[in-house]
Amino acid sequence: MDLLNSSYFICFYIILNVAKEVWSLEITQFVVPKLAVVGKSYELKCSIRANEGKLAIIKWYRNDSEIYRVQIKPAKTKIFPAVGININQNKSSLGTIVLENVTQETGGKFRCEVTKEPDFSTAEDEETMVVTEMLPQISGDSSQSSSTVIQRATALITITLVLLFTC
């Protein structure tokens, strides 16, 4: 009898995991720059994988306030006004928004939320973007890659912010 119950449990577990995979909704790539410079433009990406079902809505938030929505059927896009947010609708697309001429007010916690039918399951991801007047100059070898310089600048800004908020 125990062997029979174990077999049922294993079958149930396998079926449950297969069903979960078939109906799953997943954000496969989420890109929000951690550090942005005033006056520049940035592309924020939210790529998804939706097994079965239809993608219904993609929403973007900054600091928990909705700033952009793409509804799939009927096809509709809406930009919600927000201080420091300048979305270029012509360059933005499904899962991607382009922020132009960022300001200090643009910074904050950005979140992408996707919903699919028929079960209205959701997936979301978030990242904080800090906006600075300019990237700090870091002394060093001129052969350093720009990504190394940006990583060091990000580390310096992060340390500064941690010290400001903990002291």
Mean pLDDT of 57-78: 93
Residue 50 has pLDDT above 60, yes or no: yes
Q: 123 or 11, which is more confident?
A: 123
CA 15, distance to chain mean position in Å, is: 31
* Domains present along the chain, CATH in parentheses: 25-135+144-166 (2.60.40.10)
pLDDT in tens, 141-159: 555 555 666 676 676 676 6
pLDDT, tens only, 76-127: 999 999 999 999 999 998 889 999 999 999 999 999 999 988 788 899 999 9
pLDDT at 141: 58
Residues 6+ apart with CB under 8 A from 63: 108, 109
Helix (H) / strand (E) containing 55:
strand 54-62
What is the Cα–Cα distance from 27 to 34, expressed in whole angstroms? 18
Of 116, 92, 79, nearest to 41 by C-alpha is 92
Question: The whole model's pTM is what?
Answer: 0.68
Q: What is the pLDDT of residue 25?
A: 85
Q: Inform me whether the pLDDT recorded for 5 exceeds 80.
A: no
